[in-house]
């Protein structure tokens, strides 16, 4: 689940702010009794991490590749990893990693790294990029220490927008291309957010899971790229790899 989806989740659960958890269940192995009868202080997100905050500690949820959630309902065929029940309503989280941290989120997270944060720092992101000359751009875009919240959909769509081959080394990119990369990582993340809110995200995909390049009318290449071996979708004509 990519960063924009967690912003939407945060909006959907805001009605539980200040509410007491009266029942906790799920197949997570964490100490669930720790937050029973506790009042939720805040909901935050950093990149792909969703944070449920209490006084003195917080729960970190990572939805991994196939995580999901339900608000005020349950999946009939699946046990939640974590279920939080309130006097009115419930939050059910599935196929996710759940961890407890006995500190404040500000002690752990650099909010300037989150591409959707109000304090996102593109200057620092650009400076970090320039130090990673021997890395492929497909790996760098997924580096959560630079572009927290960017996932594989955003990676593919950004590279298509700015016509860069996913296996291009950072050292082969010009200054303007690096700036475009940083700008579009944030721009597309907000586009993703707006489209997903109205259930039109797939409708706006230009290259992700497409068979033909809409610019060049030739087949899209599908390939595992980079050290992370994540799927990349690209056009060999308008996203040519530097030689």
Spell out the residues 6+ positions from residue 73 whose beta carbon is closer than 8 angstroms to its own. 92
Q: Which residues constitute the domain of residue 197?
A: 112-234
Strand partners, 46: 49
What is the value of pTM for the model shown?
0.93
C-alpha distance from residue 76 to each of 72, 79, 101 (Å): 13, 8, 30
pLDDT of residue 131: 94
Final residue of a structural domain among 108, 127, 148: 108
- For residues 42 and 126, membership in a common domain is answered with no
Cβ density class 145-177: b for 16+ within 10 Å, e for less: ebbbbbbbbbbbbbbbbbebbbbbbbebbeeeb
- For residues 134 and 224, membership in a common domain is answered with yes
pLDDT of residue 95: 95
| 87 found inside a domain | yes
pLDDT of residue 243: 77
Residues of the chain with pLDDT under 70: none
Record the tokens describing residue 183, joined without a space: 């700008």
- For residues 117 and 228, membership in a common domain is answered with yes
- For residues 35 and 137, membership in a common domain is answered with no
pLDDT of residue 65: 85
- For residues 123 and 158, membership in a common domain is answered with yes
| 243 found inside a domain | no
**Domain harbouring 198, CATH code:** 1.10.8.50
Structural domains of the chain, count: 2
């Amino acid at each position: 689940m990519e960063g924009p989806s967690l912003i939407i989740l945060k909006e959907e659960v805001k009605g539980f702010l200040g509410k007491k958890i009266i029942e906790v269940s799920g197949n997570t192995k964490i100490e669930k009794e720790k937050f029973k009868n506790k009042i939720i202080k805040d909901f935050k997100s950093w990149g792909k991490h969703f944070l449920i905050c209490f006084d003195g500690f917080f729960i970190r949820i990572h939805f991994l590749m196939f995580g999901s959630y339900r608000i005020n309902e349950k999946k009939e065929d699946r046990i939640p990893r974590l279920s939080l029940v309130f006097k009115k309503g419930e939050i059910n989280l599935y196929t996710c990693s759940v961890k407890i941290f006995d500190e404040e989120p500000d002690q752990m997270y650099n909010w300037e790294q989150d591409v959707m944060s109000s304090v996102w720092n593109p200057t620092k992101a650009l400076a970090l990029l320039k130090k990673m000359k021997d890395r492929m751009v497909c790996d760098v875009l997924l580096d959560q220490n630079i572009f927290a919240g960017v996932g594989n959909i955003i990676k593919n769509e950004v590279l298509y927008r700015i016509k860069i081959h996913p296996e291009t080394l950072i050292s082969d990119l010009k200054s303007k291309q690096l700036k475009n990369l940083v700008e579009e990582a944030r721009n597309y993340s907000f586009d993703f957010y707006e489209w997903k809110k109205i259930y039109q995200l797939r409708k706006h995909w230009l290259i992700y899971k497409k068979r033909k390049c809409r610019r060049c009318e030739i087949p899209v290449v599908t390939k595992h790229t980079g050290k992370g071996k994540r799927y990349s979708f690209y056009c060999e004509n308008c996203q040519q790899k530097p030689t």
